[in-house]
Amino acid sequence: MTVAIDNTGISQRNTPVHNGECIDTTTSPTAKAIAIVDPVSSGAELKNYVIRAGQKLIALYTLSDEEWSKIPRPTTIKELSQGCDGSFHSKSAEKMSAYLRQLPFEVIAVIAGSESAVEMTDAVAEKLNLIGNSSSSSNRRRNKFIMRDTCKQNGLACPDFQLCQSAEQAIEFAKKHTFPVMVKTLQGTSAIDVYTCRSVDQVQTAFDRIVPGVNPFGQRSTHVLIEEHLNGPQYWVDILAIDGELYSIGLGISQVDENGSFVRDDYLIHPKDWRSLSHIVDYAFAVARAVGLRWGPAFVELRDVQGKGPVLVEVNSRLIGNGALLVLRGITAPDFDPFQATLDLYQDPSGYTMSPVVYHKYGTTYYMKPKVNGTVVAIQGLESIRRLPSYVAHTVAKNIGKKIRATDIVVYLHLASASREQIEVDILAADQALDVHVEK
């Protein structure tokens, strides 16, 4: 079965409970529910799993409708809540946990759906005495500066970095290093507000774009992170943590262009790849432990730098997004399903047993770009792309009416096949089929 990451075609079940306005009193008080915080990206697909299983589902939101309108794939709380048995928006963990306590069923798990949800998920789960990661270490898994500083203090290789409150501080750092340098927001998503700077002027421009702006999650930026640019292949490691025990469920390599923009992600499926890259997995596990990962999914991104070995790019304590898990499911099914594994773990943490991860196919996520600047008028060719032999799913990242740059991702294309050559053929065919009309 092919499932795209979207929220369409999901029927409403029972009477939704939105911000306490309505409660379905016919629900049995013994019924159990799963709460997903900010169910977008991989969280949207996890939501579909809960619904298809016939379980009670509560959607919690850290962002308002105005804030959801500014994320890479704009949406609304009403749209995201389709099929849910209740929804609630607040920036207070106390209010969210109070809402969950007054529901007519038992909430047995609180799971992060996206980057924006990490800190709130930890805090709410803690208040409800549910499994999760400690709220005292949430910022290690969310704030890029604290994340690096924590890893550095634990003896793990990191890029040379600095927290800067002024453009002058950032420029001073840049002058002491070889260009390019990277300027980043502290808490972002999907490479938003991440800039590869090749001059002092570009450092100034990047700083002015981030400070004093507001990130996609409605948080005002007062600082930037600046760091040296890393050379070397970029990898990611998918992890599932079970009461502190870490299991690697996926290992992949990313192709990145000279501007730091993603071109494609490929899962590495051969035992020889894993054996030769055991130092990558070991480093990722050490990072996960340093930032306090104890329960649930996470992924670590890193570069293997000549002379240094693995060096941290980022860690996220949630299911990897951009459809990567759709690819992982496509190459491991029927033996392993990362979405189902996550739900099974949270529903029965004491009885959960890790299933073996067996790879049957090659898997790739290809990032399709318009190659021109302007405003999207139409996106054509998706029906032809759906018919590609290795097609698994796709996600439209830039909708009609949105302004785009030539390097922006328009479509995430997810492919899986027993033939590596088939994937390469299909990527070429997809490039030929996709036609993005823009007005300059």
Q: Do the bridges between strand 224-228 and strand 194-197 make them parallel or antiparallel, or are there none, so unpaired?
A: unpaired
Q: Do the bridges between strand 32-37 and strand 56-61 make them parallel or antiparallel, or are there none, so unpaired?
A: parallel
Q: What are residue 311's DSSP bridge partners?
A: 303
Q: In what order do the strands lie in the sheet with 374-380?
A: 403-404, 374-380, 435-439
Q: How many CB atoms lie within 10 A of CB 249?
A: 21
CA 147, 124, 319, 290 torsion-angle sign:
positive
Residue 106 CA to residue 177 CA, distance in Å, equals 54
Burial of 169 (0-12, 13-18, 19+ CB in 10 A): middle
Q: For residue 213, what pLDDT is reported?
A: 72
Q: Helices 324-332 and 42-52 meet at what angle, rounded to 10?
A: 50
> Could you tell me where the DSSP H helices lie in 128-266?
144-153, 167-175, 200-210
Are 231 and 305 spatial neighbours (Cβ–Cβ below 8 Å)? yes
Q: For residue 361, what pLDDT is reported?
A: 94
The CATH code of the domain at 361-440 is: 3.90.1170.30
Are 122 and 96 spatial neighbours (Cβ–Cβ below 8 Å)? no
Does the predicted TM-score (pTM) go above 0.75? yes
Token pair for 433: 């089929």
Domain 160-228 annotated CATH 3.40.190.10: no
Token pair for 353: 């047993």
Q: For residue 122, what pLDDT is reported?
A: 98
Q: For residue 240, what pLDDT is reported?
A: 96
Q: For residue 221, what pLDDT is reported?
A: 84
Q: For residue 8, what pLDDT is reported?
A: 27
User: What do you get for the CA distance between the two ends of the chain, in Å?
Assistant: 39
pLDDT tens for the chain, residues 1 to 440 = 222 222 222 223 334 445 544 344 344 557 999 999 999 888 999 999 999 999 999 999 998 888 777 776 667 888 889 999 999 999 999 999 999 999 999 999 999 998 889 999 999 999 999 999 999 999 999 999 999 999 999 999 999 999 999 999 999 999 999 999 999 999 876 667 889 999 999 999 999 999 987 766 667 788 999 999 999 999 999 999 999 999 999 999 999 887 778 899 999 998 888 889 999 999 999 999 999 999 999 999 999 999 999 999 999 999 888 788 889 999 998 889 999 999 999 999 999 999 889 999 999 999 999 888 899 999 999 999 999 999 999 988 877 787 888 888 899 999 999 999 999 999 999 999 999 998 88
Which residue ranges make up each domain of the chain?
32-130, 160-228, 361-440
Token pair for 48: 């579909």
Give me the CATH topology for the region 32-130.
Rossmann fold (3.40.50)
Are 223 and 287 spatial neighbours (Cβ–Cβ below 8 Å)? no
Q: For residue 73, what pLDDT is reported?
A: 66
